[in-house]
Structure 1
């Protein structure tokens, strides 16, 4: 699990909550003047985890107005870009005459080196914030600053890839180890750079390594969306991304993978999840196989046994047995609680 720091105003006396929240956000991003209509009993919750030089911080908080002024910039400038993926609520930002309103799954981008005013709506907002050093965004000098103030969609294209990764990280860090943090930071940096480049139509200027890593992420996303297609082949994947099969193989080799093993492992993992899902226990095994791209049940059974050491039907039976045993244990625990409660009244 990635180490993370959690902060909640609920843990503080009511009178201290807003001041503590303002101080917290000042340390997370950069010093700002903050105000709110709800300072009397401010509600805010934030998680922070570091990915090398990148910081990710999911947060939910009451109405807030952020102001970063030239004086505050002179006082302290960590020289970072900030991105917020809006997950709930609404907000707007202004940089002098430039104003932008944001909706759900939009990215807001600002720079600690520029003045700004940001205001959230009257309802609590939920965001996933990212702090990334400006120097880490490998675009020509001054080009990346052109993204500040633009509204970038997290619903399509490169923005959707970045949003998907951030949502996954924010929802569950338990599947990652502390040793993964540096690599995840590189992935986030590459995606942010690619999102900026796409917004600026500057993709040809990206470093070759960033191009390759970003393309690999796009290909993996394509594969996950088309796992149910039995004709999902390296040739089809390469054609969809306008690259040769040999280059596709090289991209996966750089990650210690083959295209075929990546597809197979994803299909079998999804099939196993369906087979062990109590809500799908009536779905025939051949239907599960077809759902994940296996048109011939025999091929599915052989691949599943090789990967998991048992047949699909045995895996389903084991899951049903575990569910029955767990249910019996819960019934016994409930009965014991009832008996103890009854005895305590006598």
Structure 2
């Protein structure tokens, strides 16, 4: 078992991207790299070589990677990669399947077919993207090779079931491989465990998902998406991109799901939020809560935008709806000073 670390710390900031680009271009799975952070591209890598398999943790700014047919012709080790996103948002395309997903998800891809991928920071804080990649030779595949196309570029949860076990195992091995022993026998045991867990994760997915008719999977996905939206209506950051990432699909596919229902994603979210606001404004128990606070609770961060959307939907301003409700309910004319805060009532 061999552990090695690699860092750009000793490389001048302006040369770090070219340094990493050269390493990636010359690696056994050669790729081309692109980034908007070429002026300073800090990289940290921790690599554990188990002999037949490897585990590698990588940390770097937002970047895009591409492996072309030309790269493959120049050299191909014939391997399966199982990547776990630890921090940031990820996207990947291989075998005609284009997906986006967030931290805590696995992705299978293989070196013998072209692919393209990206990782992005979650925000402008400067926190890097982070991932762990397990690399297995094809002869160790723990499932039939003809099922590989069903698995590549299809995110799998690393937060439950066998995904959670595999995630914990990979983090433990990369974090402190010495705890398992520093012998060839220990490396073999770790390789066997890795292969077994990858196989169980693959089998869990193949058994539970691909046995369903495509129409049923689409309908179930739409229901999950709608449930997710209702649970996160209060989040101002709820948008098509975040919804798609949470469900491991591309934003384009998400829009297509809603178009088939005669809806758009953004208009449906706005409709739900406006209805929640209308209910709150018509609730005498919330008469003391400012209109702006109610709007903010349901994800409207700009009062003017909220007022215009509300009036377009209901023909009245939010204040007018509230006033009409209070006038129609004599008991509400005297505002209850002990009325609950806006977060206390749905």
Provide the TM-score with structure 1 as the length reference.
0.55
Please state how far the C-alpha of 1:134 moved relative to its aligned partner.
1.5
Q: What is the aligned counterpart of 2:173 among 151, 169, 174?
A: 169
Tell me, in whole angstroms, the C-alpha distance in 1 between the residues paired with 2:16 and 2:197: 35
Please state how far the C-alpha of 1:58 moved relative to its aligned partner.
1.1
The answer (yes or no) to whether the contact 2:47–2:174 under 8 Å persists in 1 is no
C-alpha change, 1:197 and 1:25, in structure 2 (3 Å) is farther
Find the residue that maps to 2:93 and give its secondary structure. Answer: strand
Question: Counterparts of 1:288-303 in structure 2 under 5 Å?
Answer: none
Question: Counterparts of 1:168-317 in structure 2 under 5 Å?
Answer: 168-179=172-183, 180-201=186-207
Tell me, in whole angstroms, the C-alpha distance in 1 between the residues paired with 2:8 and 2:191: 28
The answer (yes or no) to whether the contact 1:88–1:126 under 8 Å persists in 2 is yes
The answer (yes or no) to whether the contact 1:85–1:163 under 8 Å persists in 2 is yes
C-alpha change, 1:23 and 1:55, in structure 2 (3 Å) is farther
Tell me, in whole angstroms, the C-alpha distance in 2 between the residues paired with 1:131 and 1:113: 13
Q: Which consecutive segments of 4 or more residues in structure 1 shift more than 6 A?
A: none
The answer (yes or no) to whether the contact 2:142–2:195 under 8 Å persists in 1 is no
Tell me, in whole angstroms, the C-alpha distance in 2 between the residues paired with 1:23 and 1:158: 36
Tell me, in whole angstroms, the C-alpha distance in 1 between the residues paired with 2:165 and 2:95: 31
Matched residues, number: 201
Question: Counterparts of 1:74-93 in structure 2 under 5 Å?
Answer: 74-93=73-92
Tell me, in whole angstroms, the C-alpha distance in 2 between the residues paired with 1:90 and 1:77: 27
Please state how far the C-alpha of 1:197 moved relative to its aligned partner.
2.1
The answer (yes or no) to whether the contact 2:48–2:174 under 8 Å persists in 1 is no
Structure with more of its chain in helix, by fraction: 1
Compare 121-130 and 183-192 and name the one that shifted more. 121-130
Tell me, in whole angstroms, the C-alpha distance in 2 between the residues paired with 1:3 and 1:77: 23
Q: What is the aligned counterpart of 1:157 among 138, 150, 161?
A: 161
* 1:8-49 residue CA offsets vs partner (Å, 9 max, x unmatched): 111212233112212334455601111111111111100111
Gaps of at least 5 residues in structure 2 are 123-127, 209-346
The answer (yes or no) to whether the contact 2:28–2:76 under 8 Å persists in 1 is no
Tell me, in whole angstroms, the C-alpha distance in 1 between the residues paired with 2:159 and 2:203: 17
Gaps of at least 5 residues in structure 1 are 203-346
The answer (yes or no) to whether the contact 1:29–1:82 under 8 Å persists in 2 is no
Question: Counterparts of 1:136-155 in structure 2 under 5 Å?
Answer: 136-155=140-159
Aligned-pair Cα RMSD in Å: 1.8
Find the residue that maps to 1:57 and give its secondary structure. Answer: strand
User: Equivalent residue for 2:342?
Assistant: none
C-alpha change, 1:96 and 1:165, in structure 2 (3 Å) is closer
Tell me, in whole angstroms, the C-alpha distance in 1 between the residues paired with 2:85 and 2:30: 21
Check if 1:105 corresponds to 2:111.
no
Provide the TM-score with structure 2 as the length reference.
0.55
Tell me, in whole angstroms, the C-alpha distance in 2 between the residues paired with 1:156 and 1:26: 35
The answer (yes or no) to whether the contact 1:137–1:144 under 8 Å persists in 2 is no
Tell me, in whole angstroms, the C-alpha distance in 2 between the residues paired with 1:28 and 1:193: 26
The answer (yes or no) to whether the contact 1:29–1:131 under 8 Å persists in 2 is no
User: Equivalent residue for 1:37?
Assistant: 36
C-alpha change, 1:105 and 1:96, in structure 2 (3 Å) is same
